[in-house]
Amino acid sequence: MNNDVCFIIDNNELYFEKCLVDYDIPIFYVCKDSKGNRYIVLCYDTDEMSYLVAKSNNSEIVQMLEKKITMKQIFEKSKNIWKIYTEDDLESDKVEGVEFESINSEDLPVEKSFFEIASKDLKEYYDFIKCESEGYKLKKFIKAQPQIIWYMKNIQEYNIVTDSLIYNYSVKKKTEKNRTLFWSELSYKQVQKLSLEWENDCCGSELSVTRPKVTHREVLCCE
Amino acid sequence: MNEEYYLKFPSVFKEKLRSGEIQFPPDTKVQYESRIAYRGIEREEADNTPVNRSDLRSYAELGKKRAPRGGRYDANSPNYYGCSLFLNRAMVENRMKLPRAGWKLANICVKEEGGPIQLNEDTQHLCWWLYESYNEFEASIIK
């Protein structure tokens, strides 16, 4: 989690997670608290640095990124919205709980406006949030996944068994002897045979089937 | 970059550069090929004033004292002294869907004669540190 605390609401610190609209300064972005709750933040007054903060969730953020709901509707759906009038330090901010209906329409996103994913960076964030919303608990895009790996040394071919369906991700794993395996954009469907490349092949000519190995690997979510 | 070079920038920025308080990021490009980027500019419906230097003022130049929240933006960040443009117009259009935009979309040719840049292809964001006297924009207002 980014350590940059943006706001404190009822003693709950909100950390900056991802900027969706950056225009000289961050205008529209996502924050997260220590419990994993996500918040949509909108700087509606860039002169006074006043913000609307709406408690949201992965599913709604995904819906907005998929243009199933508008940028305004993500606020409308929220049960907890605050207006924050910032001061020079976080503790002095004026935090005011508000109802959606009471918010001046000029302070909200334009009616019927959909967010456009227009960069690789935002696409990656969408993938990340979507993974989480579908139940993959990825931490900073990376999480250890238990997998059973049968492997044969030095023939660059692996059978991998996963206990769940995980789509398209790349894996980077440091193995013993400081070798690193790289592969990317693989579709895992319970059992897959994969071709791998050793970064540094130092296995010599040894060719043997080793015992099944249960390992935890870091899984990097990607396209 | 030397002190003489720093003098080209707006006073609010050059003093920070000269004192060493602020430094350009390591990936700053001083020499680069010109390219088109997009920015929203404040214009009333009937106002077709050509793009000019005041359309590309940084938050620091605008004299906004209160630090924004989010990310690493503050008065100690070099980006606070630069102007945001985007290689992809949809990124600017997203901004125009948010409150108090009241803007028109402009495409602007970013040239090294105007000042150094930092470009992030992943975010499509281009930060342009404009020289104070540069005002020869090759630009058009597209909507």
Query: Splitting chain B (143 residues) into consecutive groups of 10 residues, what average pLDDT does each group show?
Result: 88 92 94 95 87 91 82 78 93 89 88 96 92 93 83
**pLDDT over 50 (residue A179):** no
**Residue B55: helix, strand or coil by DSSP?**
helix
A10 and A112 both lie in a single domain: yes
pLDDT number for residue A195: 36
Out of B80, B84, B123, closest to residue A121 by CB: B123
Contacts of residue B5, Cβ cutoff 8 Å, sequence gap at least 6 = none
Tokens 């000269």 found at: B18
Please give the tally of structural domains in chain A: 2
What whole-number percentage of chain A has pLDDT above 70? 58
Residues of A in contact with B90 (CB under 8 A): 116, 118
Which of A116, A134, A161 represents a domain boundary (last residue)? A116
Residues in chain A, overall count: 223
**In one letter, which amino acid is A129?**
I
| Residues A76 and A154 reside in one and the same domain | no
Asked if residue A106 and residue A14 are part of one domain, the reply reads: yes
Split at pLDDT 50, 70, 90, the class of A153 is very low
Nearest by CB to A49, from B66, B96, B99: name it: B66
Does the residue A74 lie in any domain? yes
Query: Cβ–Cβ of A48/B58 closer than 8 Å?
Result: no
Q: How many angstroms separate the CA atoms of A61 and A109, rounded?
A: 15
Taking all residues of chain A, what is their mean pLDDT, rounded to a whole number? 69
Residue A113 CA to residue A74 CA, distance in Å, equals: 11
Comparing A77 with B59, which gets the higher pLDDT? A77
User: Do A152 and A56 share a structural domain?
Assistant: no
Structure-model confidence comparison of residues A217 and B39, the more confident one: B39
Quick one: how far is CA A75 from the chain centroid? 20
A193 in the same domain as A153: yes
pLDDT band of residue A88 (cuts 50, 70, 90) is: confident
- Chain B positions touching A28 (Cβ under 8 A) are 94, 98
Any B CB within 8 A of A21 CB: yes
Using the predicted structure, report yes or no on whether residue A120 has a pLDDT greater than 60: yes
Q: Which residues of A190-207 are buried (b: 16+ CB within 10 A; e: fewer)?
A: eeeebebeeeeeeeeeee
What is the C-alpha separation between A195 and A181, in angstroms, rounded? 11
Do A113 and B68 make contact, defined as CB atoms within 8 angstroms? no
Which position has the token pair 């350590």?
A3
Backbone angles phi, psi at A214, to 5 degrees: -95, 125
Q: How many CA within 13 A on the CB side of residue A100?
A: 12
| pLDDT above 70: residue A174 | no
Least confident stretch, A14-18, A106-110, A150-154, B129-133: A150-154
Task: Let me know whether A107 and A146 are in one domain.
Answer: no
Crossing angle (nearest 10°) for helices A58-65 and A120-133: 140
Is position A38 within any domain? yes
For residue B121, which of B59, B35, B42 has the smallest C-alpha distance?
B35
Chain B interface residues (partner A, CB cutoff 8 A): 40, 58-59, 64, 66-73, 80, 83-84, 88, 90-100, 120-125
Chain B residues with CB-CB distance to A51 below 8 A: 69
Q: Which domain holds residue A150?
A: 142-221
Beta-carbon separation of A121 and B94 below 8 A: no
- pLDDT-derived band at A43 (thresholds 50, 70, 90) equals very high
* Cross-chain residue pair B99–A23, CB shorter than 8 Å: no
Count of A-B CB contacts under 8 Å: 112
Please check the confidence at residue A187 and state whether its pLDDT lies above 70.
no
Position A83 in a domain: yes
Kindly report which listed range (A89-93, A102-106, A216-220) carries the lowest average pLDDT score: A216-220
> According to the model, what pLDDT value does residue B72 have?
63
Interchain CB distance below 8 Å, B71 and A28: no
Please give the residue of chain B at the shortest CA–CA distance from A16: B70
**CA-nearest residue of chain B to A106?**
B99
Q: What is the pLDDT of residue A134?
A: 66
Structure confidence at residue B54 (pLDDT): 92
| pLDDT tier, A180 (very low <50, low <70, confident <90, very high otherwise) | very low
Q: What is residue A1's predicted lDDT score, i.e. its pLDDT?
A: 43
Contact B66 A86 (CB under 8 A): yes
Higher per-residue pLDDT: B33 or A128: B33
Task: Provide the whole-model pTM.
Answer: 0.72
Residues A45, B97: C-beta atoms closer than 8 Å: no
In a domain, A163, yes or no: yes
Residue A182 has pLDDT above 50, yes or no: no
On whether both A110 and A202 belong to a single domain, the answer is no
* ipTM of the prediction: 0.84
Q: What is the reported pLDDT for B66?
A: 78
- Under the banding of pLDDT at 50, 70 and 90, the label for residue A205 is very low
Of A16, A28, A114, the CB nearest to B98: A28
